[in-house]
Structure formats: C-alpha cells, structure tokens
Amino acid sequence: MQSQFETLLVELDGPVAVVTINRPKALNALNQKVLEELLALGNSLRTSPAVRAVVLTGAGEKAFVAGADIAAMAAMQPAEALGFAELGHRVMDGLESLPQPVIAAVNGFALGGGLELAMACDILLASESARFGQPEVSIGVMPGFGGSQRLPRRVSFGAAAEILLSGDSFPAAEALRLGLVNRVLPLADLLPEAKKLAHKIASRAPVAVQKTKQALHASRQGPLSEGNATERQLFSDLFATADQKEGMTAFLQKRPPTYTGQ
Ligand code: CAA
C-alpha cells in the first residue's frame, strides 16, 4: 500500500490503516494536494486486502478538517470550481466505496468539506471538542463535496435543512442527538476507541464485512426491492467462501474462527 504522502500520514497497525490529514496550520483544510493524495490513497487501499479497516482523523487537537481550502477557492471562476468539486466528489465517492469500512475519528472542527469527508466514512465517532457544520452559505457558496446530499441521508430532512441553510455550527452533543455520530468521547479516548472498533471489524470474516458494507450502501441508493435483491445475491456469494465454512464450523465446534479472507 502507498504510504508516503506530503499531506497525509499513514500508519499501519496490523490490519488497520490510520490515516491522518496533516495540515494542522490550516486546520487540515482540503486543498488540491490533499484531495489528490486522498484519491491516490483510496486507489491504493482498494487493492490492499491486508488492510481490513481504516480510521481517518485530523492532525493536531483543534480540527478534523475545517473545510475545503478557502484561500485556494477565493479566486476561482465557475469552470475551475466545477473541476474542484468534481475532484472532491471523486474523493468522497472513492472513500465511500472502499471495500474496507472507514471510521471517522472527528477530533475537532468538521466544517464544510470536513463534514462532507466525515460523512463519506461509514461510522463517525467524535471527541467532546468536535464541532460540526456546513457554513458555506455564510461565505457565499454552498456545499460542493456532497454535503447537500449526504447530510439529509444521515439526519432528518428538517435537521439537514436547518444546518445547510443557516450555516450555523453545532457541538458534538448535538451531533449525537441528531444521530450524525455514534459516540462522543474525551479527546484522549477518541483514537484508541476508533482503533479498537476498527480492530474488532478487522477480526470478522473479511469478505462478509465487505459485502455487508456493500449491502448497507445499496440501502441508500434504490428501492427496497432492489436493495433486498442485492442482499440475497451477496448473502449467497458468501457461501462460496472458505471463511463461511470456517465461521460456521468453528461455531459448531465451539472454537474461535481463523479467517483467511478467502
Ligand atoms: N481554508 C483555508 N484555511 C483555513 C480554513 C479553511 N477552510 N479554516 C481555517 N483555516 C486557517 C485560517 O485561515 C488560519 O490561518 P492563518 O493562521 O494563516 O491565519 C488557521 O487555519 C487557523 O484558523 P483560525 O485562526 O481561523 O482559527 P480559529 O480558532 O479562530 O477559528 C474556525 C477556527 C472557526 C474553524 C475558523 O478557522 C473557520 O471558520 N474556518 C473556516 C470554516 C469554513 O467556512 N469551512 C467551509 C469552507 S467552504 C467548503 O468547504 C466548500 C465545500 O463544501 C467544498
């Protein structure tokens, strides 16, 4: 797996990759370079079966990601802004469609493109200090990396409307109440807890985990009948894996399973 980047730190902890966006002086804002590197990392993770779960976080104690880089966007004309948004969307779609589950450890500000990035992850955990929002309308724009589409799929339509249209930010406790994040933890516990969850996921049958993620995302894309058809097919596919035989045999023999990812 590619692990050398200018703006990302990638640490391998057994089957778990911990990715840190590393521009703390700009509160980890997403510029062209960060987006290109996230895209490259996604492509590399996609073909790294030894990595079974990913944790994504931000460098420093202040921010996860404070948004797309405003300095980089300030002078853009529409065509350039379209290219920037297309790149951002490729990054978010790429992250969301990774075979491995991705956990966002939101360790501070997750604003604009930062919240969009967190919402492209499967599971969000937050520190008590985290702050969320889509403040784009307060600087003359709107979400450009999927926020107007993913937020109403994560919280109620009304809550999404208020967040998107007011531009107000809100604390972790409110994100928990809205169901945007699964847990709120003291900052010191956030990364250990995210890694613990990632390791638990990585200990499960890898192909079963991947197909479950695929079915989960299918639930948001089409009618129930299509999602159920996808589920039936993926379920039956698993019966061609060695890990299905191992998991069920181990259960019946009352011993822990040993999965190979086959
Ligand atoms: N882009 C570029 N630089 C940013 C940034 C961003 N999104 N957010 C923070 N920074 C920079 C600041 O300019 C500052 O740099 P200097 O030290 O060189 O002046 C540094 O990070 C520290 O920030 P502050 O001094 O502002 O820190 P603060 O604690 O006073 O405030 C904050 C923190 C409330 C997060 C504030 O920085 C802020 O409001 N940031 C912008 C948030 C925002 O509007 N995000 C949405 C961007 S638009 C977008 O994301 C569009 C899209 O969907 C694609």
Ordered by start, the domain boundaries in the chain are 8-202, 206-252
3, pLDDT greater than 90: no
What is the average pLDDT across 185-195? Answer: 98
The residue nearest atom 32 of ligand 1, judged by CA position, is 66
Confirm or reject: Cβ of 109 under 6 Å from ligand 1.
yes
Catalytic residue list contains 226: no
The yes-or-no answer to whether 8-202 and 206-252 have a common fold is: no
> Domain spanning 8-202: which CATH class is it, in words?
alpha beta
Strand partners, 58: 21
Question: What is the best residue among 27, 65, 69, 169 to mutate for testing ligand 1's pocket, by most ligand atoms within 8 Å of CB?
Answer: 27
Q: What is the mean pLDDT of residues 65-91?
A: 98
CB 247 within 8 A of CB 205: yes
pLDDT at 5: 97
Given this model, what pLDDT does residue 246 score? 98
Are 130 and 172 a contacting pair, CB within 8 Å? yes
Reading across the β-sheet that carries 63-65, which strands appear in turn?
A: 63-65, 109-111, 131-133, 169-171
Q: Is residue 1 predicted with pLDDT exceeding 90?
A: no
> Has this prediction a pTM greater than 0.85?
yes
Residues 133-147 have a mean pLDDT of 98
Q: pLDDT value at position 122? A: 98
Q: 37, 96, 116, 193: which is the annotated catalytic residue? A: 116
Write down the pLDDT at residue 63.
98
Return d(Cα 123, Cα 101) in angstroms, integer: 8
Pairing of strands 109-111, 63-65: parallel
CA 122 / ligand 1 centre spacing (Å)? 25
pLDDT averaged over every residue in the chain: 97
What backbone phi and psi angles, to 5 degrees, belong to 133? 170, 165
List 11, 37, 80, 136, catalytic entry? 136
Residue whose Cα lies nearest atom 16 of ligand 1: it is 26
Which pLDDT value is given to residue 60? 97
pLDDT computed for residue 132 by the predictor: 99
Where is 226: in which H helix or E strand? helix 224-238
Q: Is 61 a catalytic residue?
A: no
- Ligand 1, atom 7, lies closest to the CA of 67
pLDDT of 78 above 90: yes
State if residue 66 touches ligand 1 by the CB under 6 angstroms criterion: yes
35-58 pLDDT tens trace:
999 999 999 999 999 999 999 999
pLDDT at 227 over 90: yes
What is the predicted pLDDT for the residue at 22? 98
pLDDT surpasses 90 at 199: yes
132 lines ligand 1 (CB under 6 A): no
Ligand 1 centroid to Cα of residue 175, in Å, is: 20
Residue type, 119: M
Ligand 1 binding pocket includes 144 (Cβ within 6 Å)? yes
Assign 123 to helix, strand or coil.
Answer: strand
Residue 186: other Cβ atoms inside 10 A: 10
Quick one: pLDDT band at residue 2, thresholds 50, 70, 90?
confident
Specify the CATH architecture of the domain 206-252: Orthogonal Bundle (1.10)
